Amino acid sequence: MTILEVANLAFGYGADQLFQGVTFSLEAGERAALVAPNGAGKSTLMRLIAKEIVPDSGLVVVKRDIRVAYARQSHELPAVGTVFDAFLSGFSEVLALRHELSEAQHGAASGTDVALSRLVRATDKYHLAGGDELERQVTMIAQHLGFTDADMERPMSSLSGGEQGRLRLGIALAQAPDLFLLDEPTNHLDLDTIAWLEKHLAGLGSAMLVVSHDRAFLDNVCNITMELGRRSFRSYPLKYTDYAIAREEDLARERELVERQENFVAKTEDFIRKNIAGQKTKQAQSRRKMLDKMDTLDRPEDIWASAEKVSFRFVPAPRTGDIVLDARGLGATRGDRRLFSGVDLLVRRGERIGIVGPNGSGKSTLLKLLACVGAPEDLGSVRRGTNLCEGYFDQHLGSLDPGNSAVEEIRRVKGDLNIDAARQYLARFRFYGDETLRRVSGYSGGERSRLALAKLLLEPRNLLFLDEPTNHLDIPAAEILEEALGNFEGTVLLVSHDRRFLEGVTTRIVHVRDGEVDVYPAGFKDYEENLARAAAKAEKEAAIDKERERELSRGKHRASNRPAAPAPAPVVRDEAPRQTRNVKRTASTRPGNMPPAPPSDDPVARRRAFENEKANTRALERKRKRVKELETEIAAGEIELERRREELRQDPNGDWSKLAGMAREEQALARKVESAMAEWLSLSDDLGATESAGGDA
C-alpha cells in the first residue's frame, strides 16, 4: 500500500533553486535513506513532506488516515510541562485524562464521597483509554533514550540541548506512526542507544524516510537509498554502501553516453562544415536537421563531487618520542557521581586510540585529563613525551568566536596570512567567495565543524585530541577526515559515536562505563566482534539455564554431572524426532554415555511438537523453492544484462533519446539483479544456518 506520493517537487529561495523534479513514493514498511551533502535541502524536503512549508511546484500526497511523526534535527520544544507530558504530547486525549486523574488523586486526599467518586471515574476513563499501556511503552522508550524515572518529572525548561534532541526522537517513537520522518536521529545518541534504535525501528512496520550522516545506521536500517541533487533525483533499492558502488557505475555509463554523443555531434558538424557548399550539400543539410532534432544529453550531476573537495592535510611536524603519554591514577568526579578512578594508560607514538561508552560516562572528561585541560579537582598525573605539538578539537566548538568571520578566525591562529591567503586556505575546506567573510554565528553546524578543523590543521600537529570530530560533517567530509587520520604519522586520541569512522581510524579502544575503564588492544571492529561474541555466549548460557529449569519443572531430572557449556542455544523443534535420533546413537557416541531421554507421555506436548515440526518443514521448503526461483531469475537477468550492455556499445545512429532510454532500462535491470542476489544470499545463509542447526541436534 502506497502511503506517501511525492510528484515533481521543486523548491528554492529566490533565484537559488535547491532542487526540482523530485518524484518518489513510499510503501508501507519501506525504509528509505535520503542522502546528499550539507546544504542540498534534505531537511527542507522533510519539511515539505510534513506540510510545514509550501513547495514552488509539485505535490505531496499522504494517504488519508495515515499517522505521521516528524523528528526534527533541531527544533525548540515548548518550555512548559514535564518530560513525561512531552512524551505524551502526541496523545492529547490520554494526556488530558492523565492530568484529570492527577487532579482527582490530589482531591481524594480530602476523603469526601464526591472526591472519591471523581477519582474512581477518572481512573476508569484513563484505563479504558489505554493510558496504562501507553505509559508502559513510553517509559520503556524513555529509558532506552537515557531518561530515568526522575527525569520524567523534570520541567522542560531544565533540559540541555542533547536531552532535547533525544526527547524529540522519543516523542516520535512513542507515537508509533505509519510514517516516520527522521532527521539526523542518531545525533546525541551513544553507541548502545544507536544499536537499540536500529533494532527498534527494524521491528516496526512503519514506512520511514531517514536523513543521517551515520553510514552504519543507514546500512542497518534502510533498504532504499535516495539521492537528492539540484537537478536530479536518484533512487536505488539498496542500502547505502551498495548504493555508493552502484551510483559510480551509473555515473560512468552516463558520462560515456554523453561523451559518445559529443563525439558524434563533433564529427557530424565537421562533415557539415566540409560539405555544406560542395557535392554533398543535401547530405550536410540532412545531417544539420538531424542535429537540430536531437535531444542533447546533459552531463550527469555528481552531487558528491564538490563535497569531496575538502582537503584535510596535515602540516609536517617533528617526530615525537616513542612514549607520547604516560597517565597514572586518573580519576574524576562530577557532582556526587564518580566517573572513573585509578586509570592508567600508556600511549605510544603512532597509536590512534578511540574512547567509547554511554553518554555521561566520562569520555570527554577522560580526554580532557589526558590533554591536561581537566578540572582542578581531578586526580592523577600525565607525563608527556618529547617534541609534542598538540591540538584539541572541542565538540562544542568553543574555539570559534561567533562574532568573527571565517577569515578572521584563520588569522587569529596565523596572523601573517593576508586576507587572500586565508581565503585560499579556506577553499580547501569548502568555503568559497563571500562565504569566507560571513560571521560564524550564521554558519550551519557542518560549516562550523569544518572551520574548527581548518584552524586545528593550520599549524604542525603530532598529537591530536578530537572530541566528536565528525559531528555535523556530511558523509564525504567524514570519509576524507577518516582517510587523513589513517595516514597521519602522529598520535590521535578521539571520542566518537560514528562506528564507520571508528572502524577506519582506531588501533586501540578505551571503554568507559559505570565507573570502570577497560582497554582493548585492537581497533573498533575487533572490539565490536569481541562484544558480540561475549553477548552471544551469555545469551546461549542463559538459554541453556532456562531450558534446564523448564525440564526440571516437568520432572525431567538430569544427572548433576552433565557438562554445561558446549550445547547450542535451544530452538523450538519436534522433540520426538530428536529423541529418536538419540536412541539410534550407540552408547560410545553419546556424550558421557548418558542414556537417551524417554519420550514424552504428554499427548498435548507431542501434538504441539508435531505441529511445530510441520510448520518448520513448510517454511524450509518455501525458502528452498524461493532460492531456486532466484537462481533462475539471476541467471536470466545476467544474460539479459549482457545482451543490453552489448546493445549499448553499438552506434546509436543519432538516436540518442533511444540510447538514453536503453541505458535507464539497463540500470533498472542491474538493480533488480542486485536485489535478487542480495535476497538469494540472505536466504542461502538462513538455510545453511537452519540445516547446520538440524545436523547438530
Taking only the tens place, the pLDDT of each residue in 167-198 is 999 999 998 899 999 999 998 899 999 999 99
pLDDT at site 575: 37
Q: Say whether both 290 and 327 belong to one domain.
A: no
Same domain (yes/no): 217, 325: no
Render pLDDT for 536-581 as a digit per residue (tens, 0 to 9).
888 888 888 887 777 776 665 445 444 544 444 443 333 333 333 3
| Coil vs helix vs strand at 660 | helix
Is 563 among the domain residues? no
User: What b/e string do you get for 24-49 counting C-beta neighbours within 10 Å, with b at 16 or more?
Assistant: bebeeebbbbbbbbbbbbbbbbbbbb
- Give the distance, in angstroms, between the CA of residue 616 and the centroid of all CA atoms in the same chain: 34
Residue 544 lies in a domain: no
419-474 tens-digit pLDDT? 999 999 999 888 888 889 999 988 888 888 899 999 999 899 999 999 999 988 88
Q: Decide: residue 553, CB within 10 A, 0-12 exposed, 13-18 middle, 19+ buried.
A: exposed
Cβ(141)–Cβ(173) under 8 Å?
A: yes
**pLDDT tens digits for range 35-57:** 999 888 999 999 999 999 999 99
Are 175 and 169 in contact, with CB atoms under 8 Å apart? no
Q: For the chain, what percent of residues have pLDDT higher than 70? A: 89
pLDDT of residue 585: 36
CA distance 524 to 335: 31
Contact 459/413 with Cβ under 8 angstroms?
yes
Domain range for 299 is 246-305
Beta bridge partners of 177: none
Cell of 465: 585530541
**Mean of per-residue pLDDT scores for the chain:** 84
525, three cell numbers: 571492529
DSSP lists the bridge partners of residue 516 as 513
List the grid coordinates of 495: 571520542
Beta bridge partners of 512: 517
* DSSP per residue, 492-505: EEEE---HHHHHHH
Q: What is the predicted pLDDT for the residue at 583?
A: 32
Supply the pLDDT for residue 305.
87
Q: How many domains does the chain have?
A: 4
Mean pLDDT, to the nearest integer, of 128-142?
Answer: 86
Last residue of a domain, which of 190, 221, 243? 243
Residue 577 lies in a domain: no
Residues 163 and 233 in one domain: yes
Query: What is the secondary structure of 184-206 as a DSSP string?
Result: STTTT--HHHHHHHHHHHHT---
pLDDT bucket at 130, cuts 50 / 70 / 90: confident
Segment 114-125 mean pLDDT: 83
Category of 29 on φ-ψ map: left (φ > 0), alpha (ψ -120 to 50) or beta: left
CA dihedral 597, 603, 604, 607 (to 10 degrees): 80
Per-residue pLDDT, 626: 84
C-alpha 429/C-alpha 407 separation (Å) is 12
Tell me if 388 is assigned to some domain.
yes
Closest CA to 225 of 473, 29, 24: 24
Please give the residue that has the higher pLDDT: either 589 or 451. Answer: 451
Tens digits of residue pLDDT in 63-95? 988 999 999 887 667 777 889 888 888 887 888
The type of residue at 639 is I
Contact 264, 272 (CB under 8 A): no
Residue 469 confidence (pLDDT): 92
Mean pLDDT for the stretch of residues 2-17: 89
Tell me, yes or no, whether 86 and 25 share the same domain: yes
Is the same domain home to 443 and 513?
Answer: yes
Helix H, strand E, coil C: the string for 431-442 is CCHHHHHCEHHH
* Residue 538 within any structural domain of the chain: no
pLDDT of residue 397: 79
pLDDT band per the 50, 70, 90 thresholds, residue 588: very low
The residues facing 518 across adjacent strands are 511
* CB-based burial label for 104 (10 Å; 0-12, 13-18, 19+): buried
pLDDT band at 655 (very low <50, low <70, confident <90, very high): low
What mean pLDDT is predicted for residues 383-402? Answer: 89
DSSP state of 359: T
In sequence order, the β-bridge partners of residue 340 are: 332
551 assigned to some structural domain = no
Strand partners, 354: 494, 509
* 476-530 pLDDT per residue, tens: 889 999 999 998 999 999 999 999 999 999 999 999 998 999 999 999 999 988 8
Question: Are both 190 and 92 inside the same structural domain?
Answer: yes
Domain boundary among 475, 507, 530: 530
pLDDT of residue 493: 97
Residue 639 confidence (pLDDT) above 80: yes
pLDDT at 360: 86
- Burial of residue 499 (number of CB atoms within 10 Å: 0-12, 13-18, 19+): buried
Which candidate, 663, 36, 597, 660, places its Cα nearest to that of 301? 36
In sequence order, which residues have a C-beta less than 8 Å from that of residue 544 and are 6 or more positions away?
564, 567, 569, 570
Query: Which cell numbers in the block locate residue 615?
Result: 510448520
Q: Do 267 and 204 fall within a single domain? A: no
- Cα 360 from Cα 190, distance rounded (Å): 9
Top pLDDT among 11 and 609 is at: 11
Residues 280 and 390 in one domain: no
Query: What is the average per-residue pLDDT within 236-249?
Result: 94
pTM summary value: 0.74
Instruction: Please give the average per-residue pLDDT across 621-646, as a whole number.
Output: 84
- Average pLDDT score over residue span 649-674: 73
Which run of H or of E encompasses 483?
Answer: helix 475-486
Residues 405, 333: one domain? yes
Which residue among 260, 287, 305 closes a domain? 305
Strand ranges in 349-462 using DSSP code E only, listed in sequence order: 352-356, 379-384, 390-393
Give the CA count within 13 Å in the CB-facing half-sphere of 95.
15
Taking only Cα atoms into account, the Rg of the chain, rounded to an integer number of angstroms, comes to 32
Report the C-alpha gap between 99 and 89 in whole angstroms. Answer: 12
Q: Select from 341, 665, 336, 358 the least CA-distant residue to 517.
A: 341
Q: Which is higher by pLDDT, 74 or 326?
A: 326
The pLDDT assigned to 694 comes to 57
- The CA distance from 100 to 686, in Å, is 52
Residues 349-384: tens digit of each pLDDT: 999 999 999 988 999 999 999 999 989 999 999 999
Cα-Cα-Cα-Cα torsion 52, 58, 60, 64, nearest 10 degrees, comes to: 120
Mean pLDDT of 592-618: 60
Distances (CA, A) of 169 to 172, 187, 221, 379: 5, 10, 16, 37
Q: The domain that contains 512 carries what CATH number?
A: 3.40.50.300
Q: Which of 75-84, 162-171, 579-588, 654-663 has the least mean pLDDT?
A: 579-588
pLDDT higher than 60, residue 631: yes
The answer, yes or no, to whether residue 264 has pLDDT greater than 60, is yes
Judge whether 581 lies within some domain: no
Q: Are residues 227 and 255 in the same domain?
A: no
H or E element at residue 68: strand 68-71
Q: Are residues 190 and 264 in the same domain?
A: no
- State mean pLDDT over 590-600: 45
Domain annotation covers residue 557: no
Q: Assess contact for 350 and 491: CB atoms under 8 A.
A: yes
Mean pLDDT (whole number) for 296-318: 86
Angle (CA) 123 128 134, round 5°? 90
Do 133 and 28 fall into the same domain? yes
Q: Does residue 46 contact residue 74 with C-beta atoms inside 8 Å?
A: no
